[in-house]
Structures are given as C-alpha cells and as structure tokens.
Structure 1
C-alpha cells in the first residue's frame, strides 16, 4: 500500500474538512482505498490518501492535484507540501 500526505495551512474560521463531493471524487480515483483528513494546531491540517499500488499512486498524481487545488481555493487553504510514502505496516484495532 502507498500513501500521499498533503499538508495545508487553513484560514481562520475554516477547518479544512472536505465536502462530501470532494471525498467522493477522491474515492472514485482508480486504486484509492481510503482517506483521512486531520486538523491540527496552528491552522494546520493534513490529508492522507491510501493507494493499493505504486502505479495507482503515480497515475493519480494529476487528478488528485486538480482536486487538491480546487478544494484549497474553495476553502481558502494554502497547500504547504505534498509527499508520497510506501506504507510499511498497517494495524487498525477492531
């Protein structure tokens, strides 16, 4: 599994939480197996998208970038960083 982690600076009064439409668009990208949105301190938020293969991660770069840019403009957020990782371990307690 692979992950893309995007870091944002949110504006005052916005959480960075995506709309249902944004979530649907991301989840419809081929190979996407899930996503998380996290709100931190100091107006910082993260999105983590999970991909079943490195190929799907790479192929999603352009459409995911468009979604990221559109959502950032709509929510008045600044994109600070976008990084990609291989997920080495995964454990979720049931």
Structure 2
C-alpha cells in the first residue's frame, strides 16, 4: 500500500475543519484509492490529508485527479497547500 500526504496551512478565521462530503466522495472514486484521513490542528493552523492507494501504480495514476481535488478543496476551506509527499506504507494496524 502507498500513501500521499498533503500538508495545508489553514486560515484561523475559517469555519470548516474537514473536507466536504463531495470532496471525500471524489477522492474515493479515484481508481485504486483505499481510503482517506483528514487531520486538523486548529491551534497550529495546520491540516494534513492522507490518502491510501492499493499500489504505486494507482498512486502515480491518481496524481492529476488528486491535484485538481486538492486545489478545489483548499479553495473551499481557504487553506494553502504547503507540501505533498508520497510514501510506501510499511505497517498498517487499526485497533477495533
């Protein structure tokens, strides 16, 4: 599995602390997408999105669509895209 991690600087006056349902739906509809997490740190005016991909090929193929969604979402949330990085997921475990 692979991940794309995007870092945003948020506007302290913004009222939204998460992407819209439509944005999440758009991400999940991209072929090869396995999931999305969005982390918001109000005190530090920072947010992260983590998208998970079934393969490196799916991650690479999603780049154009992800760029468009990221741009649209940052405009909606009045945030600035600071960085976008790609990683291989070497451990994954969620406790139920």
TM bracket, shorter-chain basis: over 0.9
Residue 22 of structure 2 is matched in structure 1 by 21
Tell me the number of residue pairs that the alignment of Structure 1 and Structure 2 aligns.
94
Query: Which ranges of structure 1 fall in alignment gaps of 5 or more residues?
Result: none
Query: Which ranges of structure 2 fall in alignment gaps of 5 or more residues?
Result: none
How do 1:66-85 residues align onto structure 2 when only pairs under 5 Å count? 66-85=68-87
Q: Following TM superposition, by how much is the alpha carbon of 1:16 offset from its aligned partner in structure 2, in angstroms?
A: 3.9
Q: Following TM superposition, by how much is the alpha carbon of 1:75 offset from its aligned partner in structure 2, in angstroms?
A: 1.3
C-alpha distance after superposition, 1:3-51 (max 9, x if no partner): 0000000101334410000000000000000000001241000000000
Confirm or deny: 8 A CA contact 1:16 1:77 kept in the other structure. no
RMSD (Å) for aligned C-alpha atoms: 1.0
Q: In the aligned structure 1, how far is the partner of 2:20 from the partner of 2:95?
A: 27
Q: In the aligned structure 2, how far is the partner of 1:79 from the partner of 1:42?
A: 15
Q: Which moved more, 1:38-47 or 1:1-10?
A: 38-47
Residue 36 of structure 1 is matched in structure 2 by 37
Residue 4 of structure 1 is matched in structure 2 by 4
Q: In the aligned structure 1, how far is the partner of 2:72 from the partner of 2:17?
A: 12
Residue 67 of structure 2 is matched in structure 1 by 65
Structure 1 ranges of 4+ moved more than 2 A: 13-16
Q: Give the TM-score normalised by structure 1.
A: 0.95
